[in-house]
Chain A
Amino acid sequence: MIGIVNYNSGNFTSVFNTINYLGYPLKEVNTSFDFEDCTHIILPGVGTFNYAMEQLDKLNLLVPLKQHILQNKKFFLGICVGMQILAELGNENGNCNGLGWLRGSVEKFNFNGEDLRLPHIGWNTLESIESNVLLHGVNQQDPSFYFVHSYHYYPSDDYSYNIIYSNYGYNFPSLVQHENIFGVQFHPEKSQENGKILLKNFCELV
């Protein structure tokens, strides 16, 4: 049972529609009780780091998330801001604490003078796609996904996560995995075929 968290953070409908299209049993999650029969949890996210954390707190979802993901080790996929809040800290609108499940912080792209535009909007490719189970079957000729963000995850130096990088001025993490926890900076629900393959791979995890 795939649970998709609806915390008023924008793209719930697209994610829901795509998982539904793929044919997996799914449900909307917005109370702690909803988590019970889920085997997989997806946390979508558009908008700011701060707003996402505020909403999760307001809806009392922080405790059940910790319980079901960190303790019960259910599979978790955070999308865009849903991935960013996995970090310890974000500084989009002043400093704000994240879930802290991954060591590191979320900050704006820093190009050191290079003329690159923000937000980072559009299709960008992932490197070494064979290195992560979520990317099996993704088009090798064109391993691209749709990104739309100005901030990204900066892992701290002492990490042991499986990280896949994309390049925008420099290499930045576009996919992170730590045991049962996955985070993707891009939007698989908007990434056509490749996106569907990734979501299918996630739903198939046991």
Chain B
Amino acid sequence: MIKKRIIPVVLLKNGQIVQSRLFKRHQVIGSPTAVVERLSNWSSDELIYIDISQHQLYDLSRDDLNQQSFSSIQEIIQQVAFKCHMPLSFGGGIRKIEDIDMRISSGADKVTINSLLYDKPNVVKEGVRKYGSQAIVASIDVKRDESGNFIVFKGGKHPLSVQLQDFVTQIVDLGVGEILLNAIHKDGTASGFDIELINIVVDLVSIPVIALGGAGNWEHFSEVLEKSNASAVAAANIFQHSENSYYKCKEYLAQQSLPVRFSSKLSNQSKNL
């Protein structure tokens, strides 16, 4: 039977990998590709790599670091794809079909689409037609406000007036293969996932849903798997906080007899990077 996936998420901002808190504050983790190598060493199920840069500058111009300097997002994607030995989804900065073309031909297996779902649904349809539904992931940012209502945000910033349920149905009609559901109010809080929100979306669709936002410990992951029918659980910050983190997460979930892919093999090389 198919396993539930545990998917690390990596955010790129202005040439550096960052942690995110409530979509507002960003803290530096390191260079664009070192994290990818470690996640690959730990046999991650997939990788979601999202570019949240505000401008086109990807080069830190520091000569004192032994780091490849990148002058474009395409170069970064190519390097990431080269080092990523698992399926790669790439998101951010996608405005037209050529942007999708470039990312797929540079090595991404899938693209995650956010603003375009609302702004230019026809481009999304074209992407589905060209690359198949399995290559197009709809990324939906949702916030729960103080009164408990769910609000959809475009690009994580602009609140939309459309209802969550209607928006999700519209998205599915475009033919996308998966949904990446991002809970803004949980982002970087380490307070657990919003199970209610996950279930609302999962029950509305018949395509796989990836839940993201709120992971603070390994129990949070098992909670999603036990209390919802999400096909995958994703997290960003937590995998950067300790050694062999992803491995330990899988080990915990396997010990709970949850259906995840786990083999107790780790690299025995001194130099992992």
Instruction: Report which A residues bind B (CB closer than 8 A).
Output: 10-11, 13-14, 17, 46-48, 115, 117-125, 139, 141-142, 144, 146-150, 167-168, 187, 190, 192-193
Contacts and interface: CB of A to CB of B under 8 A. Distances in A.
A42 B130 CA distance: 22
Nearest to B40: A192
Interface of A is mostly: mixed
Interface of B: 1-5, 40, 43, 45, 81-82, 85-87, 104-105, 107, 109, 130-135, 177-178, 206-208, 229, 231-232, 261-265
18 contacts: A13-B105, A46-B134, A47-B130, A47-B131, A119-B133, A121-B134, A121-B177, A121-B231, A122-B208, A123-B2, A123-B3, A123-B45, A139-B263, A141-B263, A148-B109, A190-B109, A192-B86, A193-B43
Contacts of B40: 192
Given A47-B132, A139-B265, A144-B261, A118 B207 contact: yes
Contacts of B207: 117-119
Contacts of B135: 10, 46
B87 A146 contact: yes
A21 to B, nearest CB: 9
B217 to A, nearest CB: 23
Interface of B is mostly: loop
B206 A190 contact: no
Centre residue among A10, A47, A123, A139 by max chain B CB count within 10 A = A123
A168 B1 contact: yes
Contacts of A167: 1
A14 B84 CA distance: 10
A11 B81 CA distance: 12
B181 to A, nearest CB: 14
Contacts of A190: 85-87, 109
Given A48-B132, A122-B2, A147-B2, A142 B262 contact: yes
A13 B88 CA distance: 13
A149 B2 CA distance: 12
B134 A148 contact: yes
